[in-house]
């Protein structure tokens, strides 16, 4: 892996960050790629290779075959549990400690930001470690993981499901409101590891830009956001973000 200092950071961006009081970050699956967790645009691996996430992460897929959806998330929970935060996650946690106000908005459900030390967070799409009743929506702390079949709600008997946002579902209102407020108020928005194609998350960088924020894209590939960003740091988050932290030291 190349040294962080090998990543050129525009001095104007460094100056803007040095003077900023409120910085926000929006992350996607790309920041967990270097932790070994496949992004949505990567092909699925192993047993689940033949499935497209869009065929599994939907209410209709769960209604049609709750066991298959439950098993897919159990497999993903195991992969996440055995993954470790990478230098990109840790760099964002370091940045949070550097600014008077810092909000991390993530589309990821893997919990790696929290494990890296990020605290002031918005989970737009939920968290795979949490499980809720598919009827009442209440989070269930513990469930019978060794029993056969899909566990059921201890109160109403409906199937339990992962506490994540599925395709066709609305995002948690409070999370979205907090994210939109952060996008409008921040001075710099770091957009890391997202294809910037899935709304409403993908609208946040435009909101930030419209309110005068400096928008920075961190991604090894171009996205629809690239030509709208004020700075594009073309590289993997695990190299670029530590370089950004080093440039501020
Ligand atoms: P995607 O899989 O759509 O995009 C991943 C992005 O990460 C791509 O732009 C890659 O170029 C980039 N990338 C890959 N490796 C990287 C690295 N090492 N460092 C930085 N970037 C890297 O994932 P998301 O944009 O997160 O929604 O997808 C957004 C949403 O689409 C997901 O939250 C999910 C999916 O539908 C729901 O589940 C509701």
Cα of 144 to ligand 1 centre, how many Å? 32
Residue 30 Cβ contacting ligand 1 at under 6 Å: yes
1, 39, 163: which to mutate for ligand 1, most atoms within 8 A of CB?
Answer: 39
pLDDT at 146: 66
State the Cα–Cα distance between residues 200 and 8, nearest whole angstrom: 31
Strand positions, DSSP E, the chain = 22-27, 101-106, 121-123, 126-133, 139-140, 160-164, 188-192, 214-218, 231-233
Testing ligand 1's pocket by substitution, the residue of 122, 128, 219 carrying the most ligand atoms inside 8 A of its CB is 219
195 Cβ inside 6 Å of ligand 1? yes
How many CB atoms are located within 10 Å of the residue 137 CB?
9
Residue closest via CA to ligand 1's atom 7 equals 30
Assign 201 to helix, strand or coil.
helix
pLDDT, one tens digit per residue, over 209-227 is: 999 999 999 999 999 999 9
The first and second tokens of residue 78, run together, are 């195991």
Q: What is the pTM of this model?
A: 0.94
Whole-angstrom distance, CA of residue 172 vs CA of residue 175: 5
**3-state SS string for 122-139:** EECCEEEEEEEECCCCCE
Q: In the predicted model, what is the mean pLDDT of the chain?
A: 93
Q: Which of 22-31, 70-79, 87-96, 238-247 has the lowest mean pLDDT?
A: 70-79
Over residues 73-86, mean pLDDT: 94
Q: Which residues contact 28 (CB under 8 A, 6 or more apart)?
A: 39, 106, 107, 108, 192, 193, 194, 195, 196, 201
Q: What is the mean predicted confidence (pLDDT) over 126-141? A: 94
Asked whether the predicted pLDDT for residue 167 surpasses 60, the reply is: yes
Which residue has a Cα nearest atom 17 of ligand 1? 236
Ligand 1 in reach of 111 Cβ (< 6 A): no
Burial of 65 (0-12, 13-18, 19+ CB in 10 A): middle
pLDDT > 80? residue 118: yes
Best of 55, 194, 221 to mutate for ligand 1, by most ligand atoms within 8 A of CB?
Answer: 194
User: Over pLDDT 70: what percentage of the chain?
Assistant: 94
Give the mean model confidence (pLDDT) for residues 142-167: 89
Q: Model confidence over 97-107: pLDDT tens digits?
A: 999 999 999 99
How confident is the model over 53-74, as a mean pLDDT? 92
Q: Determine whether the shortest distance from the Cβ of 237 to ligand 1 is under 6 A.
A: yes
Residue 42 has pLDDT above 80, yes or no: no
Question: How high is the pLDDT of residue 9?
Answer: 94
Query: Does residue 193 line the site of ligand 1, with CB under 6 A?
Result: yes
More confident residue, 8 or 147: 8
CA 139 to chain centre: 20
Structure tokens at 85: 């935060």
Which sequence positions are flagged as catalytic? 125
Q: Is the CB of 32 under 6 A from ligand 1?
A: no
pLDDT score of 43: 66
Say how far apart CA 197 and CA 234 lie, in whole Å.
Answer: 18
CB neighbourhood size of 115 (10 A): 16
Assess whether pLDDT exceeds 60 at residue 1.
no
């Amino acid at each position: 892996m190349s040294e962080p200092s090998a990543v050129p950071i525009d001095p104007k961006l460094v100056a803007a960050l040095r003077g900023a009081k409120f910085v926000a970050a929006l992350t996607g699956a790309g920041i967990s790629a270097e932790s070994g967790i496949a992004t949505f645009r990567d092909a699925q691996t192993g047993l689940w290779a033949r499935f497209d996430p869009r065929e599994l992460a939907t209410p209709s897929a769960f209604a049609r075959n709750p066991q298959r959806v439950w098993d897919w998330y159990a497999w993903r929970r195991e992969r996440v549990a055995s993954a470790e935060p990478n230098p990109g996650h840790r760099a964002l946690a370091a940045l949070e400690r550097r600014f008077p106000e810092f909000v991390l908005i993530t589309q990821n459900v893997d919990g790696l930001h929290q494990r890296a030390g990020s605290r002031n967070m918005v989970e737009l799409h939920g968290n795979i470690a949490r499980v809720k009743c598919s009827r009442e929506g209440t989070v269930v702390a513990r469930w019978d993981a060794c029993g056969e079949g899909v566990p059921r709600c201890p109160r109403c008997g409906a199937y339990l499901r992962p506490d994540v946002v599925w395709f066709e579902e609305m995002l948690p209102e409070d999370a979205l409101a907090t994210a939109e407020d952060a996008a409008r108020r921040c001075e710099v928005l770091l957009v890391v590891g997202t294809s910037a194609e899935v709304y409403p998350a993908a609208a946040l960088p435009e909101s930030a830009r419209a309110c005068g924020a400096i928008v920075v894209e961190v991604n090894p590939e171009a996205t629809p956001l690239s030509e709208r960003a004020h700075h594009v740091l073309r590289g993997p988050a695990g190299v670029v973000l530590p370089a950004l932290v080093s440039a501020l030291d």
